[in-house]
Structure formats: C-alpha cells, structure tokens
Amino acid sequence: MKSKSLHRQLIGWSFLMVLILFLASSCATKRYWGPSMGRSADSQSTPANALEKAMKAANFEAYKGKTLWVEVYTLTDRTGEESAEERFLRSWLAEKISAQGARMAQSKAQADVLLDVKARVFGVHQTRRDFIPLVYMESTQGIVDLHLTFYERESGKILQTEDLKGEARYLEYYILYMIGPFKSIE
Amino acid sequence: MGTHLFRCRPRIRTLLLLSLFLLPSCATVDYLPPRQGTSAELQAILAQSLEGNLKEIGFDPAGKTVDIKVRALGGHQTPQGLEKYVKSLLQEWTVRKGGKVGPGEWRMDVFLPVLGSSATRRELSYQNIPLYYSERFRATCQLVVVVRDGEGTVAGIWRAGKGGDLADIYLMRILGPFDKPF
C-alpha cells in the first residue's frame, strides 16, 4: 500500500518536472539585426495603416478642377533636405487629391491653391511587454496627426484648415515564450 | 494527493524549486528596435511644446507683411526639417492674425536654441521582472523671436520656454501603459 502511494507520487513529480522543463525553458524573442534590416516591416505598416485611416475623413472635393501644390513638414529625422516620411506623405496626398478631381501643379507658381501639411506626428511607438514565462508581447502603434492648411496662392489667405488623425496597432504575442506568434491588427 | 505531493524528499523539493527558479529566466539579448526615426511620442511632445510657445509671441502682425527666417540648433540630424516646420507654423499664425508672409517691411527672426527631449527610465524589479516601470519624456523648447521694422529697428524681442512632459507607467511590464501627462 505504502509502495503504491510512493510510486504514484513519483509519477506525479516526474510529470510535473517534464512539464516545467518543456514549458519554462522555452524562449521566443523577436530579434532584429541592425542596421542592414533597415526600418522593420511593423514600423512601416502601422503608420501606413494609420495614414489610411486618417485620410478617410479627408475631403478635397472643394478643390475639384483646381491645381494644388503640396508641401509637407514633419519633425522626423533626415539626412537630406526632405525626409522619407515627407516624400511619402506628399506623394500619398497627391494621389488622394488627384483621385478626388483636383490636379497637381507642375510648380508652385502654377498652383491655384497651396496646401501646407504639418505632420505633428507620423511615426511609431513600440512597447515590449512580458510576464515571464507566461506571455511576451510586442506592440507597435502607428500614429498620424496631420494639420492641413489650404492657402489661396495669389492672396495668401487661408481657405480652410483641417486636422486628420489616425491610429493603427499591431500586436504580436507569444505564450510561454514558445507558442506563437499570435497576431492582431487594429 | 495535493498534500502527498509536497511531502517529498528535501533533495527533490530543492531540485524542483531550483528548476522553477532558473528555467523561467530567459537569457536573450533584449529586443533592439529597428531604426524608427523620431518616435511618435517624441514628435507629439515636440509639436505640442512648439505650438504652446507660439502663444507667447506678443507681436501683432495684422496688416503687415512679414519676412520670416528661422534658425534652429536642433537635435535632428539636420535642422532644415525643423526650421521649415517652425516657419510653416509661424506662417499660419501670421496669416490667421491678419498678416502676410513674404519679403516686406517687417522681418521676424526666430531662433530655436533648444528643442530637444530627455527620457528617464525608472524601474523597481525583482529577478528581471519589473514590478514598476516608467518612461518619462520631457521636451525642452526655447524660442526667441526678434521683430524688426523696415529700418532695422528692433520692434520687440519675445522669449518663450514652454516644454512638454509625458510619462508612461507599466506594472509588471504587462499592465499598462498608464499615461500620466504632467
């Protein structure tokens, strides 16, 4: 009777040990080998999604048939005169404006309307969270906050101002540092 | 069964406790985020402090044509982007107040000797598990505006130094962030 109980206890302990060995020693961590990987895919996709959301509210119908000149200003890093974000935003906006019936001017002097876009925010905010060893998460939040000012080129007067905001979140999480990644996009 | 389970030999119990203690630790290099440029939070706090400082300028540009020049020292790789951003802010500010921007009688020299941020990280941790962890961003902005009339006489000098402050607080690296603007 006593040996049966001891046997059962040993099996219980062995099972527990194997379970701990299997689950607790696993380790999944998202890695980045810089600088050759450049800007990560998460850091590119989330602001692009946030921009898409922000642009849903944009309406350029009032400028149908007119020519616009777009200037973009951001607080982002740069090595030259124009940052990658500025170039991307300018082209994206030009596309949206053209789709709604307005035309892009060849030069500033040829434009009817000057559109100044100040990007208060165009970037990402990344957070790592872990609760060792149960959960490990990488959250990338893309944030876009644009302030648009439309000027009449000749008079220099403000025709319209508009604020466009958008946020997108990409979450990747691992359970027990082993199972995953589970992905969610908001 | 439950009580039997803990009535084992001290050696096994020690071994089990040791494995519980050692195995959950994860010896990997911390995730090094890829080059993301200026973070979204940092941009937001800098933009806010710049807009806040514009309110301190006492010059009334109504009916005047103002030539705006901006010079920044800046913490950016090149200050050109920052200078253009600030010039665009001032252009909108001038036009809103009834003025015009361009070569004219009035000249506005804007200096940004300081526009930067500092971050403070605090954590109270046990075995690499932070019980409390916070990141506090502080933006410092100094704006000097010198306005001259057509003859070059200084019509006014304004200094503004409003900063920004933002803190993210996490509990056990899993709960949060709890934003705490100061």
Contact B95, A158 (CB under 8 A): yes
Instruction: Point out the residue among B16, B36, B77 whose CB comes nearest to the CB of A124.
Output: B36
* B121 against A72, higher pLDDT: A72
- Domain span at residue A72? 39-123+143-167
Q: Is residue A183 part of a domain?
A: no
Which of A176, A30, A18 has the alpha carbon at shortest distance from B24? A176
What's the pLDDT at B26? 45
Which of A52, A37, A45 has the alpha carbon at shortest distance from A124? A45
Query: What φ, ψ does residue A143 adopt, rounded to 5°?
Result: -125, 130
Count of the separate structural domains present in chain A: 1
B97 touches A at CB < 8 Å: no
Q: Is residue A24 part of a domain?
A: no
Question: Which chain B residues are within 8 Å of A138, Cβ to Cβ?
Answer: 31
Q: Is residue A49 part of a domain?
A: yes
Would you say the pTM of this structure is higher than 0.80? no
What's the pLDDT at B29? 36
**B35, B76, B178: best mutation site toward chain A, by most A Cβ within 10 Å?**
B35
The CATH number for A114's domain is 3.40.50.10610
Question: Which chain B residues are within 8 Å of A71, Cβ to Cβ?
Answer: 88
Read off the pLDDT of each residue in B18-22 and give the average, rounded to a whole number.
Answer: 61
CB–CB contact B33 A40 (8 Å) = yes
Q: Is residue A17 part of a domain?
A: no
A154 touches B at CB < 8 Å: no
Q: What is the ipTM of this complex?
A: 0.71
What would the pLDDT profile of B42-79 be if each residue is shown by its tens digit? 888 889 889 999 988 999 999 999 999 999 886 656 68
Which of A57, A56, A89 has the alpha carbon at shortest distance from A73? A89
Ranges of residues in chain A with a pLDDT under 50 are 34-35
Please give the Cα distance from B98 to B62 (Å, whole number). 4
Q: Is residue A95 part of a domain?
A: yes
| Chain B nearest CA to A65, separation (Å) | 25
| Chain A nearest CA to B44, separation (Å) | 6
Q: Is residue A48 part of a domain?
A: yes
Distances (CA, A) of A66 to A71, A97, A147, A159: 16, 10, 21, 13
**Tokens describing residue A175:** 């359970």
**Tokens describing residue A66:** 């007119």
Q: Is residue A60 part of a domain?
A: yes
Q: Is residue A99 part of a domain?
A: yes
